[in-house]
Structure 1
Amino acid sequence: MLQDLQRVLHTYWESFLFIAPKLLIALVVVSVALAIAKRFSMLLGSRLRGSAHDPLLADFLTNVAKWGMLLAGLLLAMQIVGLSGVVSGVLGAAGLTAFVVGFALKDIAENFLAGMVLAFNRPFHIHDTVQIRDMLGQVEALNLRTTIIRTFEGKQISLPNAVVLREPLTNFTRNEYIRQDFLVSVDYGEQKGPSQIIDKILHYVNNTEGVESTPPYVSYITLEKSAGTTADLRVYFWAQSEDYRRQVLVLKSNLMQGTKAMLSEAGYPPTTTVS
């Protein structure tokens, strides 16, 4: 029994000595492919960012090129070791796409292809504020498998690219301007009318820093409900959308607080509400 074990171990040792040089060469090939892929991706990324001015597409194509070169190096290493039959069988059976699906599993391949569509279709750019389902935040990166979004609460969300492509996506910063609104409920008294309040609110809103007043982006007010001496007024205003949190959300909050304070100082009853 010991002699059989020694014979088996000796056979394995001889097989290892036979394949050791090929393994060493394969490791060298993989190391060289890794270094070349890293260097090439850096050069390609700098070229793409300089010419396309689109960091989202540039980063995605850089990652694709990097992983493509690594896969090529891995295939070459497998052929050196003697697994050329496996490589040719995989590639010849269904092409490169089938190899990706078989190598990375179906969901990863689906997210990769969805990332390709997102990179070229570009429904958003880096730092755009988007909403997908109930998640609202800024786009930080588009990777081979996931889209990274950072919420205004500081949470980092990794969404599969297939979900981003499949779900309705709202981009709040794609256009230069965005319209917001809030409701003012006020009792204007017996001697006054809602038109005076509308003029006061419009004057205040249009003179607030950050509110756009250049046509066609102008503020206006609609009367939603009136009963007796009370009126519900819907105030619409436009703001720049590049920094959605500061230029839109914070501005809206300041306008709501300032409008209520302005109406109180103008002598309107403290029953005034803004929402």
Structure 2
Amino acid sequence: MLLNDLHQVLASYWNQFLYLLPKLALALILLVVAIFLANRLSRLIGGRLHARSHDPLLAEFLTRLSKWAFILLGLTLVLQILGMTGLVGGMVAGAGLTAFVVGFALKDIAENFLAGVVLAFNRPFRIHDTIQIRDNQTLMGRVEALNLRTTLIKTFDGKDIYLPNAMVLREPLINFTRDGHIRQDFLVAVDVAHDAGPERVQQTVLDFVHGFQDVKNEEPHTPYLIVEKTEGSVVTLHVYFWTYSEDYRRGTQELKSNLMQGIRQLLLQQGYAKPATVQ
């Protein structure tokens, strides 16, 4: 009797499998076609967006979004063919605890996805902009990509950091290159014992900064300096200058370094009694 019951159950399952086999085959073919079309259509949409949009970050994000939208549409059709749409809906609606667990597990994914949408349209940064998150030097680098869940930045020492979009949207973000120019500053301490006052060395330093290559001299981005402090015959000057920021790491920082070295050499050549300290 037991063997007969087992045989009947297996036979019933086998008949159901044979009944569903054509649907399974059709669903599999449709899923493959949906993935293929999603890739082709997303590339087509991406090509047109990149050609017409001046913002490659937004174009890339919309391309990725369209790809997953087409795949999701294909998956919905597959479930419809298999007759599982109602079953899945009933399971999710009927199992309250399961729905809660699934919703809690997907909370971060949904939050990061929505944050990615806001970042794509709000555009606080562009591809290759130098940004810093939360005033943290370890979270500073060039933007490489905005994905559906993460923002990829490459640090100046070559590390790839994948930041959750929600974190990028929620935390304070510093963009060093958005406007195309940025102000830099440094201190110059020099002994002016043989001068009547600090005016001569101030003018010497200011003229040198004005004439240095890649230092901006257009209003309101002109170089200037102030006397930070005086200790006896040593005067400390605070030099401010503006420069182009498209290449923040090599362009801006190397320019500052070269400018500081040039001022030190200039003051030494002009015979100041104490070697100039530049920092």
For residue 205 of structure 1, give the secondary structure of its aligned residue in structure 2: helix
Indicate the SS of the match to 1:173. coil
Task: From the superposition, tell whether residues 212 and 268 of structure 1 become closer, same or farther in structure 2 (CA, over 3 Å).
Answer: same
Residues in 2 aligned to 1:147 and 1:208: alpha-carbon distance in whole angstroms: 37
For residues 60-93 of structure 1, give each alpha carbon's deviation from its aligned partner in whole angstroms, at most 9, with x where no partner exists.
Answer: 1111111011111101101111102035559999
Q: Which runs of 5+ in 1 are unaligned?
A: none
CA deviation map 1:26-79 (0-9, x unaligned): 111111111111111111111111112211001111111110111111011011
* SS of residue in 1 equivalent to 2:189: strand
Report the residue type matching 2:34 in the other structure. A
* Corresponding residue number in structure 2 for 1:31: 32
Corresponding residue number in structure 1 for 2:23: 22
Cα distance, 1:29–1:238 mapped onto 2, change above 3 Å: same
Instruction: Provide the identity percentage.
Output: 55
Determine if the alignment matches structure 1 residue 154 to structure 2 residue 158.
yes
Pairs within 5 Å for 1:201-212:
201-212=205-216
- Secondary structure at 1:212's aligned position in 2? coil
Find runs of 4+ consecutive structure 1 residues off by over 6 angstroms: 90-93
The answer to whether the 8 A contact 2:188-2:238 is kept is: yes
- TM-score in terms of structure 2 length: 0.90
Could you tell me how far apart the structure 1 residues matched to 2:151 and 2:270 are?
50
Asked whether the equivalents of residues 22 and 81 of structure 1 are also in contact (C-alpha less than 8 Å), the reply is: yes
- Say yes or no: does 1:50 pair with 2:51: yes
Task: Calculate the aligned-residue CA RMSD, in Å.
Answer: 2.2
Match of 2:80 in 1: 79
> In the alignment, does 2:232 pair up with 1:228?
yes
Cα contact 1:129–1:244 (8 A) shared by 2: yes
Q: Report the Cα distance in structure 2 between the residues aligned to 1:44 and 1:90, rounded to whole angstroms.
A: 36
Residue of structure 1 equivalent to 2:202 = 198
Q: Which amino acid aligns with 2:190?
A: V
Residue 222 of structure 2 is aligned to residue 218 of structure 1:
yes
Q: Does structure 1 residue 111 correspond to structure 2 residue 121?
A: no
- CA distance in structure 1 between the aligned counterparts of 2:123 and 2:92, rounded to whole angstroms: 31
Does the 8 Å CA contact 1:75/1:87 hold for their aligned counterparts? no
Deviation at 1:114, TM superposition (A): 0.3
1:140 is aligned to 2:141:
no
Distance 2:4 2:273 in 1: 104
Amino acid at match of 1:35: F
Task: Tell me which amino acid in the other structure corresponds to 1:111.
Answer: N
Given the two structures, how large is their TM-score scaled by the length of structure 1? 0.91
Unmatched segments (≥5 aa) in structure 2: none
AA partner of residue 226 (structure 1) = T
Give a deviation string over 1:199-251, Cα, whole Å, max 9, x none. 11112212221111122211111001012211110000110111111221111
Separation (CA, whole Å) in 2 of partners of 1:82 and 1:244: 56
Opposite residue 197 of structure 1, the aligned amino acid is V
Residue in structure 1 matched with residue 176 of structure 2 by the alignment: 172
Letter in 2 for 1:261: Q
* Alpha-carbon distance between aligned partners in 1 of 2:106 and 2:56, rounded to the nearest angstrom: 28
Q: Assess, with a 3 A threshold, how the Cα gap between structure 1 residues 27 and 190 changes in structure 2: closer, same or farther.
A: same
In the alignment, which residue of structure 2 is the partner of 1:13? 14
Deviation at 1:126, TM superposition (A): 0.4
Aligned to 1:187: 191
Cα offsets for 1:249-275 (capped at 9, x unmatched): 111111112211211111123442111
Match of 1:242 among 236, 239, 246: 246
Between 1:205-214 and 1:140-149, the stretch displaced more is: 205-214
